Amino acid sequence: MRVRDRFRSDAASAIPGGDVADALRIEGLSVRLTRGDAQRPILDGVDLVVHAGETVGLVGESGSGKSVTSRAALGMFPAGAEVRGRVIVGGVDVVGARRSALARVRGGEAAMIFQDPRAGINPVRRVGDFLGERMRRRGIGRAERRTRCRALLDSVGISDPDTTLRLYPHQMSGGMLQRVMIAAALSAEPGLLLADEPTTALDVTIQAEIIGLLMERRAHSGAAMLFVTHDLELAAAVCDRIYVMYAGRIVECRPSGSLFADPRHPYSVALLRATPRLESEVPVVPVPGRPLSLAEAPVGCAFAPRCPHAVDECLEAPPALVGVGDGAAACIRCNDEDPRR
């Protein structure tokens, strides 16, 4: 069975601009580092929307700006960065927000599930102390905290919650610990989940299990989710819409089915060709060339040096996002009959 068939959401696809609530709205977000040799912004004019109850994918190679974008929703920006634009979560613009407002966003409006579960938990604290910390701050008594923590662990498929609550992180496998992190993220009933490559650090044999659990619990809670991954096929399987990012810019945004079936930006095409598919005999083709470094600041399209279809016009100015069918793409050829020519 294909990945797309196993995890595809039944939620209707949504396009930005509909009359629905937004769990996350990013407008014109630019993040620039001024230290060292950095010349190009880490993020450059990013616009992104996650509607309430929607699962949105953010796809691209390492270094494209995916993690910086997802962490921006919590007001977590690189030290010393110059930040412009707006990032609205729960009615709060986290860019320049006061500590009290950020605490409200981070304490209940949004929650992060990190790539490496061990990076998000204190290694010298027991699981029970970690899960119960937010409850303790809200004045919930020890007995009630334990009851709620047991229920949280049971909800993510941990069969012996009492034993697990007494364990330290180093006593647990990566898959078990990621289950704990999913439970912790959902404990405050956030309106927005930020999943930053949540299975990359796990064994291949349990990745599908964790993704299935995450989608099940997200659907149960009704939370919206921004799902960050380098795997376009996985994003198509679990997301309603997908944003493709390259060199700090959004280069395509489409409903997942449309993007997977008919990508309109050459970078999206290259990512699909580089994705292994067990059910297909089509060979995997690596994306040619290499991603840009922060010291490189091209005048035109950032993908042009790697694009087999680039023309002189591509080198003159960064292409703007333009409408293409049911979405948008940033390529002067995105409305050609076949952009892969």
Residue type, 118: R
- Per the CB < 8 A criterion, the answer to whether 47 and 27 are in contact is yes
**What pLDDT, in 10s, does the model give residues 67-112?**
999 999 999 998 889 999 999 998 999 998 999 999 889 888 999 9
**What pLDDT, in 10s, does the model give residues 293-333?**
888 888 999 999 999 989 999 999 999 999 998 999 999 98
Top pLDDT among 259 and 201 is at: 259
**Would you tell me how many other CB atoms lie within 10 Å of the CB of residue 61?**
17
**Would you tell me how many other CB atoms lie within 10 Å of the CB of residue 151?**
12
**195, 236, 254 from 335: Cα distances, Å:** 32, 22, 14
Q: Report the alpha-carbon distance of residue 340 to residue 31 in Å, rounded.
A: 31
**What pLDDT, in 10s, does the model give residues 272-281?**
998 877 666 7
DSSP helix/strand/coil, 132: helix
Q: Report the alpha-carbon distance of residue 185 to residue 277 in Å, rounded.
A: 31
